[in-house]
Structure 1
Amino acid sequence: MAHDSLLARAREVWLEMAAVPMAFPADGGVDVAVSGRSRLCPPGWVGIVAVGDAAIVTVPADNWAETVRKVLVGLPVEVLTDADRLRAVLPVTEVLGPASLAYLDEGDFQPAGLTVDVVPGDHADLATLLASVTADDADECGLVDITSPAFVVRRGSHVVAAAGYRRWPGLVAHMCVLTKPNQRGRGLARAVASAAAADGLANQLLPQWRARPEPSRRVAQALGFRQLGAQLSIRIGT
């Protein structure tokens, strides 16, 4: 089935990012491993990624591995990316996420069908767009890190929406989308994201949409992305 293939590809992405031999348990549940080079989370943090009915967790050092393993192995997979539930069982001091993880199979793609402009990923107009939003919005969208061209919509001479992707390990096109606040709700995010996703698919990449805000998740769903899991990073105190 296409869904099974998409699930398998998504899991392979995160197994590579874990930078240590591990697996999503075939019978569900969680696998915990020590990885000082994990890209599931910032350095020194615990990274948790659930995809489908199983999860993988990386811890930065041996001294936390057994504690985290004992606590998390007994929890349902759907709870592993719930920050409030984890705070009840671990000494969590900081949290990043959770963010939903959605992926696009070419057969599911629902393109927007709107014409957009294409500019280099480091075009000055993108910097102007990023400067027009809050620091949180700029960080969330990831547009500054794209390695693809940028797909943009203009109003007059100004870019008001843009999308692109950063190429990740595992042949992934990690989607990055931003719309100027006063232009939101008009379908512009879907238009530029559609063009970026089409470019990723044309380059034999797996489009990945990681999002926290619900409006962003709705855009992904409209384009045919399937939400397959979630990611959470936690810092544990001593």
Structure 2
Amino acid sequence: MSVDPLLVRARGLWEALAGVPVSFAPSGGVTVVVSPGSQLCPPSWTGIVVLGDAAIVTAPTEVAARAVSRSLASVPADSLTRGDVVRAVLPVTEVLGPAALGYVSSDDFRPSAAVGAIEHLDPGHQDLRGLVGSAGPEDRDESGLEEITSPAFVVRDGTDVIAAAGYRTWPESTAHVSVLTAPRHRGRGLARQVASAAVAHALAAGLMPQWRARPVASRRVASALGFRELGSQLSLGLDHNKLRQDAVGAADGTAVPGSRA
């Protein structure tokens, strides 16, 4: 059976971000490890990343890892990042995601022709502040534009920056793409144009572009540029007191493992 090199490379990234030795199982399924320093999720949370037919999960403690391993053992890989599914089997207090994970190779990249001039700005340039300020907190956080390390590729309306894209360099030679368009200028294809310039820059540098997104509109832009959604990511805040109680109950036979009762 042929191996998808882009999938292999994407898995290598998230294995490195796990913070401890772990691999996506070649035969599929879920691999759970304890990693308090995992970058799959916020500190003290549990992170789930599915790529292809396999998943890796990092938990902050042994108790959490055992509970997650028991509870998710029978869940199909394509359902592991569904909030309703994990809430049914684990004491979830908070959820981030799910976010689709898309990747593109040089061969699959479909660049978008720019209608107007695309300007290059230094990351953190003051002219980006107006664009960031025009977006709501959710759009701003989703875009990650304030975290880019590459040049910002922008389109202006007069002197105002109305769309911008760039990327932050991640481990394993990965370019994590960020895109933002001013709300009143959306629907004109500007996100695709500036993102195309950012992706082309990343590929020329030998990096693997990654597009992580929740909104459907953002995912459509990625698809138009040739990105393939290879998996998804979900972060869980768990009730650790409940996990400890369940662990004690399971040990003396008074509770059902994974129960939320």
Interval containing the TM-score (normalised by the shorter chain): over 0.9
Q: Greater CA deviation, 68-77 or 5-14?
A: 68-77
Whole-angstrom distance in 2 between the partners of 1:46 and 1:168? 20
> Match of 1:232?
234
> Match of 1:131?
133
> Match of 2:46?
46
For each residue in 1:86-137, what CA deviation from the matched residue of structure 2 results, as whole angstroms up to 9, or x when unmatched?
1010000000000000001100010002141111111101111101110111
Whole-angstrom distance in 2 between the partners of 1:154 and 1:97? 31
Deviation at 1:205, TM superposition (A): 0.3
> Match of 1:170?
172
Write out aligned runs for 1:1-238 (5 A). 4-114=4-114, 115-237=117-239, 238=241
Equivalent position amino acid for 2:225 in 1: L
For each residue in 1:153-209, what CA deviation from the matched residue of structure 2 results, as whole angstroms up to 9, or x when unmatched?
001110000000000011000000000011111000000000000000011000000
Q: What TM-score, normalized by structure 2, do the two folds share? A: 0.90
How many residues are paired up? Answer: 238
Deviation at 1:72, TM superposition (A): 1.0
- Secondary structure of 1:31's counterpart equals strand
- Secondary structure of 1:56's counterpart equals strand
Whole-angstrom distance in 2 between the partners of 1:34 and 1:183? 45
Equivalent position amino acid for 2:141 in 1: D
Root mean square deviation of aligned Cα: 1.1
- Secondary structure of 1:122's counterpart equals coil
Equivalent position amino acid for 1:70 in 2: R
> Could you say which structure has the larger radius of gyration?
2
Q: What TM-score, normalized by structure 1, do the two folds share? A: 0.98
Equivalent position amino acid for 1:4 in 2: D
- Secondary structure of 1:37's counterpart equals coil
Whole-angstrom distance in 1 between the partners of 2:39 and 2:65? 17
Equivalent position amino acid for 2:134 in 1: S
Deviation at 1:62, TM superposition (A): 1.0
Deviation at 1:64, TM superposition (A): 1.1
Deviation at 1:2, TM superposition (A): 9.1
For each residue in 1:134-153, what CA deviation from the matched residue of structure 2 results, as whole angstroms up to 9, or x when unmatched?
01111110000000000000
Whole-angstrom distance in 2 between the partners of 1:105 and 1:205? 9
Unaligned runs of 5+ residues in structure 2 are 242-261
Equivalent position amino acid for 2:187 in 1: G
Equivalent position amino acid for 1:36 in 2: P
- Secondary structure of 1:234's counterpart equals strand
Whole-angstrom distance in 2 between the partners of 1:206 and 1:113? 21
Deviation at 1:33, TM superposition (A): 0.1
